[in-house]
Chains A and B, each alone.
Chain A
Amino acid sequence: MEKGYLAIILHAHLPFVRHPEHRDSLEENWFYEAVTETYIPLLTAMENLIHDGIDFRLTMSITPTLASMLTDPFLQDRYLRRLDNLIELGGKEVRRTRTQPALHDLAAWYHNHLLKTRDAFVNRYDRNLILAFNRFQEAGVLEIMASAATHGYLPLLSVNSSSVKAQTALGIQHYRELFGSNPKGFWLPECGYYPGVDQTLRKQGISYTILETHGITRGCPRPRYGVYAPVYCPSGLAVFGRDPESSRQVWSAADGYPGDHDYREFYRDIAYDLDLDYIKPFIHPDGIRIDTGFKYYRITGKTDHKEVYVPEKAAHKAAVHAGNFMFNREKQTEHLASVMDRKPVIVAPYDAELFGHWWYEGPLWLEHLFRKISNEQDTIRTIHLSEYLEEYPANVCSVPSISSWGFNGFNETWLNGKNDWIYPHLHQGAAMMEEMVEKHPRADGITLRALKQAARELLLAQSSDWAFMINTGTTTEYGIHRTRSHLARFHRLNSGLKTGNIDAEWLSSVENRNNIFPGIDYSLFAHETG
């Protein structure tokens, strides 16, 4: 009989990046890489576990922006085009490395991996990974959480309650359309919580969400069991807190498993090592080198000299680290169970893209972890958070603290001297959208189309990703561009609605480009009183 539970949560999210206006888009590669390195490997891991009769529970949030991209035929086609391009590169690499046995084996290994990925994408999953994920939800091993429509950072959007309402309601509506069921959990983008958002979620039928550790520990009144049992907000929403120890073991740059010297080095890709003439057909047509996924070296250490990657060693280390993680959770659970009047739950949320994309061996580690927990011990069991609430429906009542999982734990990542210029525009945009809804309560024809597109553009401008990019300095210009271009289109639509002069041809092109949420109800932005 288990003494406690472990809830592994993977937050799968990418911003809506879709550029039909460009033949090749650098930023669309984020999506292609994540499909190959994260989403298909996670599906494969779950298939392997089910095939072997392993009892496991995994929770994922799949954001509406990512889900929209995964179900978009245009991006599915482009992904396949990129995959075929890389398969061709694999063939060339096998030939190029024939006199270098270690690299040759790796090239063949990658080539084979890409062929299998293609087979899985086309034949096994019929190009639609959402249907594949949902199959595991229907099988009871995967619980999928809903999330905000475009990953808006709700604490800073809450100046306009209509924005929070639209982000959450549309996210939930999209989930129901896509997965055919009502979501139990809702992932708050960036774990961004403020008192009041719980009421919004609860009113829409959500049972639980997850906060960063201090959202729970600094709640008022003080929770009895730290983050090892949920609390109920006064609204009735159950809130679980992230366990800091299990987070550190995976996330920490200094101590985390992904930094092991036997694991694959992310930053050493042949795109940057080989002659431009050779690699040019497989990078951006303008000669901009982009990752190909052919990475032949392991982390090795804090040195520029890198040893060749050995998959067997990496696989072994993934198993060892899975055992280590399980051991720590067992010890943790034994202690907690001895001092609590209930079975504790350890909540371990991670970005899904950490697994496979950044930490190449991550999906394998996860598969090992579930196997070991199922086969090698009795202290812990994996669980869905909704199952925990069914077993323990009585919990203490507390008002969680404002919190996020960003730098310093609050709003600073998305609000600082680099990106604060965004918010006057977002807030004013929401106020203008409220006015549009009030003026056009029952629109039709081109007016309806313009209102729907205005809502899409405003929602896309609200994505937390742009402020994050501007802050980190890695893709600053793109973040700025996306914010400004969505807002500019929004203003143009607003202007057209006011004057009655809507450019139908331009509107069609914008609808085609930013086609997320085709059935959007623009009245979700109606001004809320009280």
Chain B
Amino acid sequence: MVSKKTTGRHDGCANPALLENIHRTGTADSHPAEAGGRDSESDPEIPGLSNPNTLPESYWRTRVILLPVGPYVVHAYWEYCPTVVSGNEGQAAPDGGADDEKDSGQAVLRFYDVTDTVSCEADPDYHFDIEIDLEAGNWYVHLWEPGRSYYAELGFRACGGRFSPVARSNIIHAPGVHPSDREADEYIVVDRGDHKWDEPVPDRKPPEAVRNSDRPGRDFPEPDPTASLPEFSKDGTISHVSETDSFLSPESTESPDGKPPGTAGPDKIPDLTEINEKEFVSGISSG
């Protein structure tokens, strides 16, 4: 609905915008609601922070989070606190722990594919590593296969190859890009009334009837009832709409075997899913 403009930098490298935004303060000073010398927000400063809208630079929790961007890109962000490992916030790492690893190893995100596992426990031998700049804080990772499920570990890989994880992410699923090969054949019926609301609907002031005595009427001129509006197929005046602008190709509109509606067997149904896929234009509503 707004301007069509995008967007993401999926370049498999650190995103400078994140650091810029996290460290930048005072962007609100120029926001339009305060333009032109009007009073700025009256919030007193947050204790310990220099600007009312400054956000913490660190939450002091070692963590790594994955977010799927699309079928082929996943976003990872992390925070690494040398004295804190995931699940032990506020506790020092054990001797010889992650802090030492950081000094001697390469920071990596180790991705595990758990698509075909039952318990979401990955085969430890089936993974891939993405070397990262630990200070970047986030990364866009390209995937070569859509429709897979992953989690990642943030850790350090020593020269000898030993991997020391410090945090484990959530599991994400990268969406697929094609319809499934398996067709649904199981019909189910859901009882619409099976939900028991915990509480009765709260009392509400009954809406007062909209006054019908005075019909609002429309602002536009009433259509001339004597003028027959041109039908779609006859009207050549409709700009950017033509008679051929129907949703299906002529051959696909033929009824299978001349059977009446409702009697077509499953093997005679045109592939409506495939037709939908061809017609589909993503982002038409939100660009």
Contacts and interface: CB of A to CB of B under 8 A. Distances in A.
A277 interface: no
Interface stretch (A74-82, A89-97, A411-419, A448-456): A411-419
Contact of A413 (B6, B61, B195, B269): B6
A24 to B, nearest CB: 8
Interface in A454-496: 468, 471-475, 477-478, 480-481, 484-485, 487-489, 491-492, 495
B233 interface: yes
Contact of A223 (B18, B21, B41, B273): B273
Interface in A405-432: 405-413, 415-418, 420-421, 423-425, 427-428
Given A421-B21, A481-B31, A506-B43, 17 more contacts: A116-B216, A120-B216, A214-B280, A214-B282, A218-B176, A223-B184, A226-B272, A226-B273, A236-B194, A320-B235, A351-B285, A420-B15, A420-B18, A428-B61, A468-B2, A471-B5, A484-B53
Interface in A386-419: 386, 389-390, 393-398, 401-413, 415-418
A471 B79 CA distance: 24
B162 interface: no
B59 to A, nearest CB: 5
A69 to B, nearest CB: 16
B92 interface: no
A319 B33 contact: no
> How many A residues touch the partner, as a band?
35 or more
Interface string A27-68: 100000000000000001101100100000000000000000
Main secondary structure on B side of the interface with A? loop
Interface stretch (A144-152, A250-258, A268-276, A438-446): A250-258
B119 interface: no
Contacts of B272: 224-228, 336, 339
A164 interface: no
B173 interface: yes
Given A244-B280, A260-B239, A328-B246, A320 B229 contact: yes
B58 to A, nearest CB: 10
B32 A26 contact: yes
Contacts of B59: 424, 428
A401 B53 CA distance: 37
Contact of A47 (B65, B181, B215, B284): B215
A182 B201 contact: yes
16 contacts: A131-B208, A180-B204, A214-B277, A217-B179, A247-B285, A286-B38, A320-B237, A331-B253, A336-B272, A351-B285, A368-B223, A394-B187, A405-B285, A412-B8, A473-B3, A484-B27
Interface string A100-113: 00000000010011
B254 to A, nearest CB: 8
A126 interface: yes
A78 B119 CA distance: 56
Contact of B39 (A22, A48, A238, A323): A22
Given A48-B218, A341-B262, A416-B9, A480 B282 contact: no
A238 B37 CA distance: 51
Interface in A161-183: 176-182
Nearest to B270: A339
Nearest to A191: B285
Contact of B264 (A287, A341, A368): A341
Contact of A412 (B6, B27, B232, B268): B6
